[in-house]
Each structure stands twice: as C-alpha cells, then as structure tokens.
Amino acid sequence: MKFTGWPEQGELVVGEIDEIADFGVFVDLDEYEDKRGLCHVSEVASGWIKNIRDHVNVGDRVVAKVLDVDESSQQIDLSIKDVNDHQRSDKIQEWKNERKADNWMGIAFGEDVDDETYTTVAEALYAEFGSMYDGFEAAAIHGEEALEDVDLADEQIEAIVETARENVSVPYVNVTGYVNLESPGHDGVDDVREALEAAEGNGEVPDEIELDVSYVGSPEYRIRVRAPDYKTAETELEASAERAREAIEAKGGTGGFHRERETEDE
C-alpha cells in the first residue's frame, strides 16, 4: 500500500535511490505514491564527502528522515545521516511487515482486488491498529473478536481472519505451573479426573491458547500454557489451576498451585 498525500517533518521513510548528482541523491519513496525526495550531499553521511558515490549507489534502499516538506514546490528534503542503526533496522522491519500485509490483502480479497475495497480495508486496519500488519496479526491471534470494533463488513472480517490464521506466524510464549490434587473419598480417582478436565477448560479455552495438563507424579500435575504474550499466558495458567482447585475442593479434596516442580521422579 502506498499513501497518498505527503510525509510529515521528522518522519522516517523508506526509499530507493534512483539518481545521484554531485549535490545530492534523489530518493523514490516506497511508501508514498508519486513522491520523490532529495537528500543533499551534506545529509548523506557524517563528515566531509569527497565522492558521494563512495557512500551510496543507484538502487540502494535507504531509510531517511524527512527534514522539510514544501508542497507548493513539490519538494521533500531528506537526511540519511540523521538515522541511527536502531531506527534504520526498526523502520526496515516495519516496511517489510507492510509488504507482507500487502500480499495477505491479495490473498484475502483476490490479486485483482479493486482500489476502493483495498483502500477501505487498509484504512480501517490503520485506524484501529496503526498498520495492516498489526491488524492481520491481531486477527491471527484473537480471530473475529479482534476486529469487532473495526468498520468492516462481516465478509471482509471473515476473509481477513481466514487469511491471517493460514499465513501469519504469531510469536508465542510458554509458561508452566503445577497443581497438587488429592481426594480422600472412595471416588478419589474420578474426583481428580474431573478436576483435571476442569483445569483443561472443558472445551472453553480461547482458540489462541494451547493448554495441556499432564501427570508428573502423585499428587502433582503439570499445566503448560502457550499464548501470544506473557500476560495472557499467566492469566490462563492461574485460571486453569483455580478451576482445578475449585473442582477438587467441591468433592471434599484439596488442591494447591505452585510454580516449581515438587515431585522428584516422573
């Protein structure tokens, strides 16, 4: 997706050097439609520059800072030297992510998607998430729930979620905890089994969560949770342990949650 309009002063932009002159380089801006910026030779690199071609070449992709925008003269002044390595790396990654999202848009709505549909969906995702990539990532993690406040038609949301679930690689984290479950009654085995089923969520764990409960050694059971972020993972882990505790105590047994393994041998 290319933006219409103009970049703002201070913004970082990605572009390709398409012409080099003794006084500076011209940069075709990848993110803006029909926009080209000029980076004066003094803004290409720090220090005295004897030969500008020792620092840049035609075809180089660069990250530059917007120094000034003059719409009346159609001029955008850029600086390459004012971008540090960390900013450059982050901006390039952001640019790559949006290229991925552009490809996902083609998968979701067809390679021949019309401009109006593309723009409508893209602007809605930008308004809610700040980027198309973040919108698709949220859809991959949380499904249609992530897009319920986005101003899109139901069929558009379904297309985004389906595409996201099949194509977006979501970063996940894993956390582990343990519960001790004991029941003194003659149905103790069944009581523990019910408590374990409760720990597993009885089929009501959110789609983005992977939760597994396994035997460690009587009376200890391991709970593993895989989730998109630590806060969610910890919340689900504690909720799982609490469900187990409540279930076993309802049968007259006892249950306790702890983070470190207590049983010596499995």
Structure confidence at residue 1 (pLDDT): 63
The overall average pLDDT reported for the chain is: 91
| The pLDDT of residue 266 | 45
**Does residue 51 contact residue 78 with C-beta atoms inside 8 Å?**
no
Most confidently modeled range among 18-27, 137-146, 257-266: 18-27
pLDDT at 263 over 80: no
Q: What is the pLDDT of residues 56-106, one digit of tens each?
A: 999 999 999 999 999 999 999 999 999 999 999 999 999 999 999 999 999
Per residue in 5-58, pLDDT tens? 899 999 999 999 999 999 999 999 999 999 999 999 999 998 888 899 999 999
Taking the complete model, does pTM exceed 0.85, yes or no? no
Residues 186-196, mean pLDDT to the nearest whole number = 90
d(CA 240, CA 247): 11
Quick one: pLDDT at residue 187?
84
**Nearest-angstrom CA–CA distance, 62 and 59:** 9
pLDDT of residue 264: 62
Mean pLDDT of the 238-248 span: 94
- Is residue 203 pLDDT above 80, yes or no? no
For residue range 115-132, what is the model confidence (pLDDT) as tens digits?
Answer: 899 999 999 999 999 999
pLDDT at 260: 83
Confidence class of residue 169 from pLDDT cuts 50, 70 and 90? Answer: confident
pLDDT given for residue 173 in this prediction: 84
Q: With pLDDT > 90 as the criterion, what percentage of the chain qualifies?
A: 73
Q: What is the 3-state secondary structure (H, E, C) of the chain?
A: CCECCCCCCCCEEEEEEEEEECCEEEEEECCECCCEEEEEHHHCCCCCCCCHHHCCCCCCEEEEEEEEEECCCCEEEEECCCCCHHHHHHHHHHHHHHHHHHHHHHHHHCCCCCHHHHHHHHHHHHHHHCCHHHHHHHHHHHHHHHHCCCCCCHHHHHHHHHHHHHHCCCCCEEEEEEEEEECCCCCHHHHHHHHHHHHCCCCCCCCCCEEEEEEEECCEEEEEEEECCHHHHHHHHHHHHHHHHHHHHHCCCEEEEECCCCCCCC
